[in-house]
Amino acid sequence: MSDWTRDRRRDASTEREYRTSGHARWSHCRKRGIDGSLRANRETDGETEKRGHTDRSHPDNRQDSFTTPESAGPMSRCGRQADWGSQVEDDEMRRDVHRDMQRYRRRILGAEVTQRERKTSSGSSGSCDSKEGENIETDETVLLRRQKQINYGKNTLAYDRYIKEVPKHMRQPGIHPKTPNKFRKYSRRSWDQQIKLWKVKLHAWDPPAEEGPDKVLDNIDELDLDDVMDIELDFPTLSESQNAPASLSTHSLSLEAEDCSGTPVKVQKTETTTEPDMA
């Protein structure tokens, strides 16, 4: 099975866990309905089914909103999509990823040059040579998979509301969710965790969340995940990346060690505890 279908399976089982009788838990937060068109209001699933799609019946009783936002319906299990719509979208994503990579490389090279200049002028001999440039994730399969995961997170009403409410320059590390950097080398597990935690943080902006960001963060504090949240999501920006990469890698290594037993359970706890708030 390709990585991509494995991901979808995982998303699928996560969705099933949170579904109450016949109503997908966060369907009202989805920006798009099953047919890909925007959902303008917070209508119930019943209404949505009346509009638009009527003929499509899922063989296994899934809710319409179960389907991932971008697709128009259940996707075939085979790796390469046969329909032209999907082919063109995949093609477009591939090109976007490559273009992003070129831009990222340019940014890194620019930052590296600046750092070198600083070092020589200040006379310091930093132990950390910023090897960002050599440490970029370039595997296309990985990048595309990561981009898809990021797209799922960005294709939500929560994300829309978040970026409108908090412009980039006002974002505080640790408090405001930050999109994981797909070009950094991370283990598969580490990356998937980052995505999960990022999405959890984004849920604070779910409509019609009256409580806002604070309530959710309090819950997370109770679960003692402070360290995890700070380290996992607090990527230094490129301009401050002198020492951070070294410390970042050791922290994530120690987390990796704990991973095998602890983290999945912790993450599950996070999501179930925040559930009532989402009602």
Contact flag: residue 38 with another protein (CB under 8 A): yes
Of 30-38, 103-111, 115-123, 203-211, the window that binds another protein (rule: CB under 8 A) is 30-38
Closest contact distance (angstroms) between CB of 91 and another protein is 5
Contact flag: residue 47 with another protein (CB under 8 A): no
Contact flag: residue 150 with another protein (CB under 8 A): no
Contact flag: residue 83 with another protein (CB under 8 A): yes
3-state secondary structure of 32: strand
Contact flag: residue 97 with another protein (CB under 8 A): no
Q: Rule CB under 8 A: choose which of 77, 99, 106, 188 binds another protein.
A: 99
Closer residue to another protein (CB): 70 or 271: 70
Q: DSSP letter string over 83-142?
A: SHHHHHHHHHHHHHHHHHHHHHHHHHHHHHHHHHHHHHHHT---S----GGGGB---HHH
Closer residue to another protein (CB): 38 or 260: 38
Residues 201-260, interacting with another protein (CB under 8 A): none
Q: DSSP letter string over 149-196?
A: HHHHHHSBHHHHHHHHHS-GGG--TTTS-----TTB---HHHHHHHHH
3-state secondary structure of 38: strand
Contact flag: residue 72 with another protein (CB under 8 A): yes
Closest CA to 188 of 149, 242, 132, 135: 149
Closer residue to another protein (CB): 98 or 107: 98
Of 31-39, 164-172, 184-192, 249-257, the window that binds another protein (rule: CB under 8 A) is 31-39
